[in-house]
Amino acid sequence: MTQTPFYDQHVSSGAKIVDFHGWEMPLQYSGIIDEHKNLRSNVGLFDVSHMGRFKITGTSAENCVQNLLTNDVTKIGDLQAIYSPMCSESGGILDDVIAYRINEDDFLMVVNSSNIEKDFAWVVSHSQDAHVENITDQMALLALQGPASEEVLKAAGLELNELKRFHLITTKMFDVDCLLARTGYTGEDGFEIFFSSSHTEIWDKLLEIGTNFGIKPVGLGARDTLRLEAGLMLYGNDIDEKTTPLEAPLSWTVKFDCDFIGKSALEKQQVERKLVGFEILGTNRIARKDNAVLADDLKVGIVTSGSFSPTLSKSIGFCFVPVSVSDEQTIQIEIGNKPYDAKVTGTRFYKRG
Amino acid sequence: MSEIQFTKEHEWILMKDNIGLVGITDFAQKQLGDIVSVELPSVGNEFKQNDAMAIIDSVKASSDIYCPIDGKIVAVNEELLQSPELINKSPFESGWIVKLEPSNISQLENLMTEEQYNKFVGED
């Protein structure tokens, strides 16, 4: 089992620890619903140091990253980031990543923890002339998310200069060099902070300085409910190698005027199924991954994610259905061999005001 | 007989005037985390010992609740339908789940005492 640099701090703050793809991670501290609601109204701090980080450098770094990703990497400037699927030749999603461009010759790619080894082998084998290094163990990654996250950073003495979403700066926080990006996985304003893994005091200092703003640590449980409400995909649940970005609601990340691995397969794909949101009607029984989706008593699809929405107090989820299924249509979700009515919705259940 | 008793599936039963009050333990509610839905049996339903009689959904997991001894449901805690979190807040009092009229009271002898249960879950 692998631990992040902050493991001892999680244990001493009473976190319930779970095995997450071989990582001993905090599932919850005060409780999933409490952490979720507090982040939506105040601010929360996550340890996401289990996410994989690759450094891609050299004069062909930009070409290398563009070839790997379906989104248009050339449209971002220095100190900007982009979200993108990374596909195989057949168009299946190997992972969904955020690529941070330091400059033309220097990119940082953040990948899912469950895919680190697979992704690293893939990126290295398609590195062209670029140099690829797995720096996951050398770097800590914290996510400070929620409407008060900017105020917390200002209280810590940072000058953000109206840093825009998906932009980044190199700066110092508590005298430690860090890379600060306005990115996240919660549907709220927020930041992700990269720094040397030796500086574990940053976790404590952010919690301390955030006290006045109502900060609470947040575990993987609320990370899942937050991203689900915000309509964000979870690799291994909603998307995988058997899923293409055109079936998932990720068509907006596929730029056919760029050249990338999987392009010709995606150009030819006849899309037959789509990932939609659903809301279970009349009960808060929770749908779980792999529950069957029924329409007119026939199995037409499968649940990929399901949970409780603390913001809406409803049972929600994502599922795959045939493209013929329409928005607002009533389907059934089978939970424990019993069908429950559900309404087809968009994937975005929550949009910040 | 008025001592609380426990099952290996983490239910408790407390007999009073020949009716058993049934719920889940504090250990169980902590393991489940935030409870968001409870499906209750109907009054009059009869269950054998260890039959699934109710379903609890927490944010992370779904769990069957098993009948601790043979019997007939004589009341259910309808407040749980609106406020399932009562089980988290008060598992032994306002978070009770059903009242049961036992049909084989001798089965109580197979259940654990509080001391045995605490040892069973490693919280002694």
Residue numbers in A near B55 (CB within 8 A): 285, 336
- pLDDT bin (cut points 50, 70, 90) of residue B2 is low
ipTM: 0.90
HSE-CB at A93 with a 13 A cutoff on CA atoms is: 28
B60:A33 CB<8 A:
no
- Phi, psi at residue A144, to the nearest 5°? -105, 115
Query: Could you report the per-residue pLDDT of A217-255, keeping only the tens digit for each?
Result: 999 999 999 999 999 999 999 999 999 999 999 999 999
The CATH code belonging to domain B5-104 is 2.40.50.100
Percent of chain A clearing pLDDT 90 (strictly above): 98
pLDDT of residue A255: 98
Q: Which two tokens mark B88?
A: 């988290």
pLDDT of residue B20: 97
- Partners of B87 on chain A (C-beta within 8 Å) are none
CA distances to A330, B40, B50 from B66, rounded to whole Å, are 32, 12, 5
pTM listed for this prediction? 0.95
Edge-to-edge strands, sheet with B52-58: B35-39, B52-58, B62-66
Strands B52-58 and A176-181, by their bridges, are unpaired
- Confidence at residue B52, expressed as pLDDT on a 0 to 100 scale: 97
Mean pLDDT of A287-312: 97
For residue B62, give the nearest of A31, A32, A286 by CB distance.
A286
The DSSP bridge pattern shows strands B35-39 and A176-181 to be: unpaired
pLDDT band, very low/low/confident/very high, at B124 (cuts 50, 70, 90): low
Rounded percentage of chain A residues whose pLDDT exceeds 70: 100
- DSSP characters for B78-107? THHHH-TTHHHH-TTTTT--EEEEES-GGG
Judged by a CB distance cut-off of 8 A, whether residue B62 touches chain A is yes
| H or E element in which residue B57 lies | strand B52-58
Taking an 8 Å cut-off on Cβ atoms, the answer to whether B34 and A308 are in contact is yes
Average pLDDT, chain A: 97
Given a cut of 70, whether residue A115 has pLDDT beyond it is yes
| Model pLDDT for residues B21-33, shown as the tens digit of each residue | 999 999 999 999 9
Question: Contact B62/A335, CB-based, under 8 Å?
Answer: yes
Nearest CB to A288; choose among B33, B36, B62: B62
Mean pLDDT, to the nearest integer, of B57-85?
Answer: 97
CB contact (8 A) between residue B60 and residue A27? yes
8 Å CB contact of B33 and A32: yes
**Which pLDDT does position A79 carry in this prediction?**
98
Q: CB A336 to CB B59 under 8 A?
A: no
**Domain A272-345 part of CATH 2.160.10.10:** no
Mean pLDDT of B93-97: 98
Q: Which sequence spans correspond to the domains of chain A?
A: 272-345
Are the C-beta atoms of A94 and A122 separated by less than 8 Å?
yes
d(CA A144, CA A159): 16
Domain ranges of chain B: 5-104
Is A288 in contact with B34 (Cβ distance < 8 A)? no
Residue A333 is predicted with a pLDDT of 98
How close is the nearest chain A Cα to the Cα of B18, in Å? 33
> Does residue B84 belong to the interface with chain A, where contact is any CB pair within 8 Å?
yes
pLDDT, residue A353, reads 75
**Residue A104: both structure tokens together:** 């033309």
